[in-house]
Structure 1
């Protein structure tokens, strides 16, 4: 089912997830210092703050940027159905072309603006209790950079397929969402 590179990617993602989960937990070395460490950790959490406006702008930009992708996925699922009439299949084909022509440019532009606003959000926020903001910014940045490299054909052709798989990976996308949600739950 998976080729060698995909297996390695899955292993790296699982290892990264485990690292993230365990690094987000408070460090409680032994039972004697447990209460001191929890108190210190909760004081660190109180220092954490996020810039709400820049975070909401980044979230909305990423949401709007990826509506064409959700639309494209839905169209592909519908096209695979055998029960559609010929005229409905033509309509779906037309919708797919329209999506590619008019909505996909918004995907490229809004995601690029989104990563810039996510960087601003990162710079205006403070989180000393966890490395999740750093990891999530890097992961989202990687997703955007792979998309840019695919769109503008910046990488050699032998990396194109692998880069495309990273960019369109459900596992990688789920991991990014998991990191973002977990990080924001910790700070809130």
Structure 2
């Protein structure tokens, strides 16, 4: 009888120990859970920050490359039209200044010489500048929502270059070709193009 009681007592103690162990484990899990959730939140926020930093870095790289394309197009455009600027300067000097015939002849010869060497550069670099300007414009579409002037500038550049190509390759003939040449060499469209590009970029920036 006494042995049976001892067996019951031992069994009861084992059950109580098992219950206490389970309760201890159950009480430990809720304490661990917030740390686990917090750890997940930390990892989630770290991933979000990393994603945001990556997006910002990618945006900065795109902006930098887009600005580089715009500057390249501008410098190529300047280099392509040095011959135009010199031609306008020489013609204006001869027309508006009462110079001796000897100086006038020298200026005319200089103008012919610079055209001989620089016009091929003009014909090559202008279409290149137009292509890079188009890439620059397409890359900056969101920025161009602030103003439509960059679009007009690109359109003017395309029209002036297109008319020049028609004249260069003799696509049109007769009076129409002469008209195209007058449009292409007229300083007013060129001045308008420069004004639109400068004002448009100032507004966008």
Same fold by TM (over 0.5)? yes
Paired positions, count: 139
Matches within 5 A, 1:30-179: 51-80=66-95, 81-84=97-100, 86=102, 88-126=103-141, 127-179=144-196
| 4+ runs deviating over 4 angstroms | none
- Distance (Å, rounded) in 2 between the aligned partners of 1:174 and 1:82: 25
More helix by share: 2
- 1:4 matched residue in structure 2: none
Q: Secondary structure at the match of 1:60?
A: helix
Deviation at 1:179, TM superposition (A): 1.9
TM superposition shift of 1:120: 1.3
User: Residue 78 and residue 186 in structure 1: after superposition, are their counterparts in 2 closer, same or farther (change >3 A)?
Assistant: closer
Deviations 1:79-122 (A, max 9, x none): 44443253x34432331221121111111111111111111111
Classify the secondary structure of the residue corresponding to 2:171.
coil
SS, match of residue 172 in structure 2 = coil
Q: 1:174 to 1:78 in 2, by over 3 A?
A: closer
Mapped to 1, the partners of 2:98 and 2:152 lie a distance apart of: 43
Change (3 A) 1:182 1:97: closer
Greater Rg over alpha carbons, structure: 2
2:145 aligns to what SS in structure 1?
coil
What's the offset of the Cα at 1:77?
Answer: 3.0
Give the TM-score normalised by structure 1.
0.65
Q: Which residue of 1 aligns with 2:25?
A: none
CA distance in 2, matches of 1:115, 1:57: 11
Higher RCO structure (Cα 8 Å, ≥6 apart) = 1
